[in-house]
Structure formats: structure tokens, C-alpha cells
């Protein structure tokens, strides 16, 4: 669609701008402020320059949290995206079952995040939970409150439970937008199921899949509540992801400078990834127009 | 070329969906042909295509079933042993929640700030999304990106500054504080979704309306908003959803009066030992509003998750 140049459109975005700026700029500047100052209480602050940043970037604790974060995000993307696409491909394309499927699949997305954690906690407890009990019955020693591996398994499974539906819904929306003529043409050409997927369905889904990867990356990168309720970041620090570590430093240990510097670094990383995805996406749209 | 055709098809789809009975007949014959084609495809994929979604849904329902199961047990029974369904069926936990003001006030305050937030987000996002979908203006792309970054900023970063900010302006521990704070990620999301839906409406409609002498506000309310009604519904649903499930900020910005239900649950879990039955019942009740809302938007939900851009 061609757009007209009109600077008066600024008036239409002004309310949005003010509200979001109030919520984004003021707190962000507060964080920036903390990140360059040292305090000894009594509201006395001293300028410290980039000392906190140096400390955070050199600390092995931050590296460990960051490593865990990337590993987690990578694992859940590697599971959720293919699984979501597979489920979407297998879903009925029309009929009464579509609504039923969609409603059931969307359900986990509307469960408050701490309830997700609590639910998985009682589901996975080794003595009274269905999952924990079943795994132990299979002869595998499983206790997510004590074994790091079990904890990871539970957190990943919980995230798959919670968010794969998002990928399913996105991929399904993409699949539904494919006109039947495409499939008929493929049939006349005698295309195999694989070829239909590779040359018709995948390209038509690429736009929504980009959104899916973007949203899943971002949301898993800032995951806090669910693992916090489920494992509390433990056992030890095994499931302490970036946000959990950040809140621990800020509210638990009251290391304001460290926490703020960590926030800024964390925020800049998210920003960078967003920018890459956003550029890729807008280029894609512009190419389509 | 194929692209042009497909765009045309997409636009036609939108018009069909929103048009009156006159075009419905044509649409019906189209759809019938589509259904036939789909049935043929379904057979080609083998007869077992339904197994995958079924297994997936079973997987999704298991933890929820377990939660419901627990909510009908007494705490003693839960801790005492393992059973697939309640042996001593009890609704004690639910009675406790509905009679104890601490519990039901949690629900009331959660719903209050979620509704306030949904109304604010959709209202301010509507004109902004229109501006982004119809006009180019100084810094528009940068502004759009900046909005998106706020959807993507980890709330953990903002927890402490938010606490100070809302204490400073005297809104701490009111539903308004949470409602306004959730605007941080809900307004960008609302703009994003609405912009997708609005871009699907051909610009000729605007131009025709202006020629017919409509002013912008009148055109927007009388003609444009009905055209994207489904998009507005979906947007409201998403604002509701993300405000409903968020806890970190909601917990940080409230103390006693406006405590959301999710925070009441956390407190119960930590202070009064392990009242698992009660916790489970409260959990079940937090799922109910979501399930009700999904039912209303079920036909648009897939498109909504694609941010209106399919």
C-alpha cells in the first residue's frame, strides 16, 4: 500500500508516545542512573563511571547466567518451532474440530505465569505429582528439586507445554492463508507431500514463523516467573536465568549498581536481537509490497 | 504476478467476511469448493493425521487435569498418598476462596486492572495504528521500532524503578498503577496487531469516505472501526491475556489493597506452609476467565497471533 507523507499523523500517535514514554523512559533513566553510581545508603550517591559494567562483564556469575539463558532459549526454540509446525500441519483445516483444537491449544497461553509454575510444581513432584511419579515408576531416578538435570528437563518441558501452542497458532494461521489453487496446481504437477511442504507451505509460513521465532526468542530470553516458582532458580544455581539472577541481585542482595549495570547490558542485548529481526521482517514486507 | 493475485484474494477475503448477505451466497459456493478440496487433501495425508493434534492436546491437558484433581482433594489426602482421582471428593477449597475476602478480593483487583488496561491500550492504540498503516511521517519507522522494543524489554529490569516511580506519584497499591505499568508492553502489542489488521483494509475505502464528505473522526468511528471489528476484538483479547498472566510488575506495584490473585497465591504458598488443595483451587479459578475469553475469539485467534498479518 502506498502511504502519503503527512506529519500531522504525529497527533494520532501522541497519546501512545506519551503513555509508553512515561513507562519506559523514566524507569530506564533511573536504571542508567543507578548503573553509574555507588551508594552507601541515606540517599547519598557517588559517581562511579563504568566500574559496575566492568565488574559485571568480568564476573563469572553473569557469564554463567548468560550461558544458561542462551542454552535454554536454544533448546526451547529447537523443540517448539518444529513441534509447533508439525502439529499445525496435522491439524484439520476445517470443520467443527478446528474450533475445539484451537480453544484447547490456546488454553495454556492464558494461564497466569506463576500458576504455570505452581501447576508444574505439583505435577512434577516426585512423590505426589503425576509426572514425577510416572518417571520414577519407569525406573528413572527423578527429583527436580535436587538434580540439576531433572530440573532442566522439567523447566524445558514446562516451557514447551506453555508456549508451543503459540507456534502452532501462528503456523496454522499461515497455512490457512494458502489458496486452494496452490494445492490443486501442485496436485496436477504430481508434487510429493514433501515438495508441497518445501515449496508451498514453508514459504507461505515464513512470515509468521519469523514472528514466532522473534516472539519466542524474546519471551524465553526474559523468562522469570515460571522457573522462579517451579525451581526458585535451583537446585543451586542450575536454573538461574538472567532475569532471576537480576532480581536476586537487585532485591535480594540490594546490589543496585551491579543490578542496574546488568539490566542495561541485558536490555542492550535484547535490543540488538530485536533490531536484527525487525530489519529482516520489514525488508521482507517491503519486498512483498 | 502471483503476489498481486494473492493480495487481491486476501482483500476479497476481508470484504467477504465483513459484507452483508448479498455476497454471502457467492462466498458460500467458494467455501464449498474449498471444503471439497480440503477433504481430498486430508485423505492424501493418510488417515491418521488426527493423532498428532490429539496427543498434543492430551499432553496440554494432563497438568491441568492434575491441578483440577488436586483442587478437589483435602490437603491431607494430597500429602498422604497418590491417587489419580479424588478419593474423598471435597469442595472445601473452593468454599474457602469464595468466602474469604483476601482471596476473592484478589480476583476483583486482578480483573479491575486488567479491564482498565485493556480499555486504555485499545483506545490509544487505535488512532496510532491508523497513522502507522496509512501515513508516512517524520521518524515513523524509528518510532515503531522503539515501541516494539518496549514489548521486548524484560520486566525484571523495570521492577525497581517502577516501584519508585509509582510510589512517587502516589499510585502505589492501586489498580491504576498496575494498569498503567502494563501499558508498557500492551500498547506496543496493540499497535502492532491493529496495524496488521488495518493494513488489510484497502485505502480506497478511506478516500471514498472523504469524498463523500466524512470528517476523519466520523469516518473512523462509523466506517473504519466496524470494518476492523474483529481486529479490535482480537486486540482486546491479547491485551487482556498479557495483563492477566503477568505477575512480576503486578506484584511489585501492589501491597495490600490491590493485590492480584496470582500474588495472593504466591503468599499462600510461602507463608501458611503447603496448602496445596487451596493453591490448586485458586489456580483452577485463574484459568476460568481465560477459557471463557478464548471461546469468544476462537475463530480469530490464529489470525490474531499472527498479528493480523496473514
Helix (H) or strand (E) holding B135: strand B135-136
Q: Is residue A56 part of a domain?
A: no
| Model pLDDT, residue B144 | 86
Chain A residues closer than 8 Å to B198 by CB: none
Alpha-carbon span B175 to A17, nearest angstrom = 22
Task: Give residue-wise pLDDT tens across range B37-91.
Answer: 444 444 444 567 788 889 999 999 999 999 998 889 887 787 777 778 888 888 8
Task: Give residue-wise pLDDT tens across range B237-281.
Answer: 889 988 998 888 888 888 888 888 877 877 665 544 567 888 888
Q: What is the mean pLDDT of chain A?
A: 85
pLDDT at B16 over 80: no
Residue B49 or residue B192, greater confidence? B192
pLDDT at B29 over 60: no
Angle between helices B21-44 and A180-188 (to 10 degrees): 40
Task: Give residue-wise pLDDT tens across range B125-142.
Answer: 999 999 999 998 888 888
Q: Which residues contact B29 (CB under 8 A, 6 or more apart)?
A: none
Label residue B179 by pLDDT band (50, 70, 90). Answer: very high
Angle between helices A256-288 and B140-152 (to 10 degrees): 130
Chain A residues closer than 8 Å to B295 by CB: 103
| Model pLDDT, residue B33 | 47
CB contact under 8 A, A23 and B53: no
Alpha-carbon span B202 to B207, nearest angstrom = 10
Q: How far is A244 from chain B (nearest CA, A)?
A: 8
Residue B183 or residue B82, greater confidence? B183
CB contact under 8 A, A193 and B50: no
| Model pLDDT, residue B117 | 95
In chain A, what percentage of residues exceed pLDDT 70? 96
Range from A156-165, B46-55, B205-214 that averages highest in pLDDT: A156-165
Could you tell me which chain B residue has the CA closest to the CA of A176? B310
Q: Which residues contact A248 (CB under 8 A, 6 or more apart)?
A: A233, A240
pLDDT at B119 over 90: yes
CB contact under 8 A, A224 and B156: yes
Q: How far is the CA of B55 from the CAs of A83, A123, A169, A227, B61, in angstroms? A: 12, 18, 16, 25, 10
Name which of A108, A118, A288 is nearest B265 (Cβ-Cβ): A118
Going by their DSSP bridges, the two strands A45-47 and A37-39 should be labelled as: antiparallel
Q: How far is A53 from chain B (nearest CA, A)?
A: 15
Question: Which one of A110, A158, A213 would you mutate to disrupt binding with B, by most B Cβ within 10 Å of its Cβ?
Answer: A110
Task: Give residue-wise pLDDT tens across range B150-165.
Answer: 887 888 778 888 888 9
**Owning domain of residue A212:** 65-242+267-288
Task: Give residue-wise pLDDT tens across range A137-151.
Answer: 888 888 888 888 999
Q: Stretch A203-232: mean pLDDT, rounded?
A: 84
Q: Which residues contact A192 (CB under 8 A, 6 or more apart)?
A: none
CATH code of the region B100-305? 1.10.3720.10
Nearest Cα neighbor of B115 from B303, B289, B251, B304 is: B289
**Range with the poorest average pLDDT among A42-46, A59-63, B305-309:** B305-309
Q: What is the mean pLDDT of chain B?
A: 79
The answer to whether the CB of B129 falls within 8 A of the CB of B220 is no
| Model pLDDT, residue A175 | 85
Helix (H) or strand (E) holding B136: strand B135-136
Alpha-carbon span B201 to B242, nearest angstrom = 26
Residue B205 or residue B88, greater confidence? B205
Label residue A43 by pLDDT band (50, 70, 90). Answer: low
The answer to whether the CB of B79 falls within 8 A of the CB of B68 is no
Name which of B37, B53, B149 is nearest A180 (Cβ-Cβ): B37
Tell me the sheet residues that pair with A47. A37
Name which of B159, B165, B310 is nearest A247 (Cβ-Cβ): B159
CB contact under 8 A, B79 and A128: yes
| Model pLDDT, residue A60 | 86
pLDDT at A192 over 80: yes
CB contact under 8 A, B188 and A20: yes
Q: How far is A171 from chain B (nearest CA, A)?
A: 8
Name which of A13, A113, A130 is nearest B247 (Cβ-Cβ): A113
Alpha-carbon span B97 to B41, nearest angstrom = 50
| Model pLDDT, residue A176 | 82
Sequence-ordered alpha helix ranges (H) in chain B: 2-18, 21-44, 51-71, 75-80, 92-99, 101-134, 140-152, 155-168, 175-199, 203-211, 216-219, 225-227, 229-245, 248-252, 261-271, 276-297, 301-305
| Model pLDDT, residue B30 | 47
Question: Which one of A8, A128, A219 would you mutate to disrupt binding with B, by most B Cβ within 10 Å of its Cβ?
Answer: A128
Q: Stretch A171-180: mean pLDDT, rounded?
A: 84
Could you tell me which chain A residue has the CA closest to the CA of B266? A114
Name which of A31, A104, A218 is nearest B161 (Cβ-Cβ): A31
Name which of B9, B143, B241 is nearest A13 (Cβ-Cβ): B143
pLDDT at B24 over 70: no
Cell of B143: 518510532
Q: How far is B156 from chain A (nearest CA, A)?
A: 6
Q: Which residues contact B234 (CB under 8 A, 6 or more apart)?
A: B193, B197, B297, B300, B301, B303, B304, B308
Q: Is residue A17 part of a domain?
A: no
> Which CATH number do you get for residue A84?
1.10.3720.10
Hunting for cell 502492532 — which residue is that? B192
| Model pLDDT, residue A83 | 94
Name which of B50, B131, B149 is nearest A271 (Cβ-Cβ): B149
ipTM: 0.84
Cell of A39: 551508594
pLDDT at B34 over 60: no
Chain A residues closer than 8 Å to B163 by CB: none
Chain B residues closer than 8 Å to A256 by CB: 160
Amino acid at each position: 500500500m502506498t502511504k502519503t507523507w503527512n506529519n500531522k499523523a504525529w497527533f494520532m500517535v501522541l497519546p501512545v508516545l506519551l503513555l509508553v514514554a512515561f513507562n519506559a523512559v523514566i524507569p530506564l533513566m533511573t536504571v542508567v542512573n543507578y548503573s553509574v553510581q555507588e551508594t552507601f545508603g541515606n540517599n547519598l550517591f557517588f559517581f562511579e563511571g563504568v566500574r559496575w559494567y566492568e565488574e559485571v562483564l568480568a564476573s563469572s556469575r553473569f557469564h554463567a547466567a548468560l550461558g544458561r539463558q542462551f542454552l535454554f532459549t536454544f533448546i526451547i526454540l529447537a523443540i517448539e518451532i518444529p513441534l509447533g509446525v508439525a502439529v499445525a500441519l496435522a491439524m484439520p483445516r476445517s470443520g467443527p474440530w478446528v474450533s475445539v483444537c484451537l480453544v484447547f491449544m490456546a488454553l495454556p497461553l492464558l494461564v497466569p505465569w506463576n500458576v504455570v509454575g505452581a501447576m508444574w510444581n505439583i505435577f512434577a513432584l516426585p512423590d505426589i505429582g503425576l509426572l514425577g511419579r510416572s518417571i520414577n515408576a519407569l525406573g528413572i531416578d527423578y527429583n527436580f528439586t535436587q538434580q540439576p538435570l531433572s530440573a532442566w528437563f522439567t523447566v524445558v518441558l514446562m516451557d514447551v507445554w506453555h508456549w508451543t501452542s503459540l507456534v502452532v497458532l501462528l503456523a496454522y494461521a499461515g497455512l490457512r492463508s494458502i489458496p486452494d489453487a496452490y494445492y490443486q496446481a501442485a496436485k496436477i504437477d504430481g508434487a510429493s507431500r514433501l515438495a508441497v511442504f518445501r515449496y508451498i507451505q514453508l514459504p507461505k509460513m515464513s512470515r509468521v514463523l519469523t514472528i514466532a521465532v522473534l516472539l519466542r526468542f524474546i519471551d524465553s530470553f526474559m523468562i522469570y516467573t515460571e522457573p522462579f516458582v517451579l525451581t526458585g532458580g535451583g537446585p543451586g544455581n542450575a536454573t538461574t536465568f538472567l532475569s532471576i539472577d537480576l532480581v536476586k541481585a537487585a532485591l535480594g542482595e540490594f546490589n543496585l549498581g551491579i543490578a542496574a549495570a546488568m539490566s542495561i547490558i541485558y536490555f542492550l542485548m535484547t535490543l540488538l536481537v530485536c533490531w536484527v529481526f525487525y530489519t529482516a521482517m520489514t525488508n521482507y514486507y517491503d519486498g512483498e509490497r | 504476478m502471483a503476489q498481486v493475485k494473492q493480495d487481491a484474494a486476501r482483500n476479497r477475503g476481508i470484504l467477504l467476511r465483513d459484507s452483508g448477505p448479498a455476497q454471502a451466497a457467492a462466498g458460500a459456493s467458494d467455501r464449498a469448493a474449498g471444503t471439497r478440496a480440503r477433504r481430498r487433501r486430508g485423505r492424501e495425508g493418510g488417515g491418521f493425521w488426527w493423532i498428532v493434534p490429539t496427543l498434543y492436546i492430551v499432553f496440554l491437558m494432563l497438568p491441568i487435569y492434575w491441578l483440577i484433581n488436586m483442587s478437589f482433594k483435602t490437603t491431607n489426602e494430597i500429602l498422604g498418598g497418590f491417587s489419580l482421582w479424588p478419593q474423598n471428593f471435597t469442595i472445601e477449597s473452593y468454599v474457602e476462596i469464595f468466602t474469604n475476602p483476601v482471596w476473592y478480593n484478589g480476583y476483583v483487583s486482578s480483573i479491575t486492572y486488567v479491564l482498565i488496561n485493556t480499555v486504555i491500550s485499545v483506545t490509544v492504540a487505535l488512532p496510532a495504528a491508523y497513522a502507522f498503516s496509512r501515513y508516512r511521517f517524520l521518524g515513523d519507522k524509528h518510532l515503531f521500532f522503539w515501541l516494539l522494543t518496549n514489548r521486548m524489554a524484560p520486566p525484571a529490569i523495570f521492577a525497581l524503578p517502577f516501584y519508585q516511580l509509582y510510589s512517587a506519584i502516589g499510585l502505589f497499591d492501586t489498580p491504576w498503577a498496575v494498569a498503567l505499568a502494563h501499558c508498557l508492553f500492551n500498547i506496543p502489542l496493540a499497535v502492532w496487531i491493529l496495524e496488521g489488521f488495518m493494513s488489510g483494509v484497502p485505502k480506497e475505502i478511506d478516500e471514498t469516505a472523504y469524498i463523500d464528505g466524512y470528517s476523519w473522526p466520523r469516518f473512523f468511528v462509523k466506517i473504519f472501526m466496524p470494518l476492523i471489528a474483529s481486529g479490535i476484538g482480537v486486540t482486546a483479547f491479547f491485551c487482556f491475556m498479557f495483563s492477566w498472566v503477568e505477575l512480576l510488575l503486578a506484584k511489585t506495584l501492589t501491597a495490600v489493597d490491590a493485590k492480584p490473585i496470582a500474588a495472593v497465591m504466591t503468599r499462600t504458598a510461602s507463608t501458611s506452609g503447603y496448602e496445596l488443595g487451596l493453591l490448586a483451587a485458586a489456580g483452577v479459578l485463574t484459568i476460568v476467565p481465560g477459557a471463557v475469553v478464548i471461546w469468544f475469539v476462537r475463530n480469530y485467534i490464529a489470525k490474531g497471533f499472527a498479528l493480523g498479518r496473514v
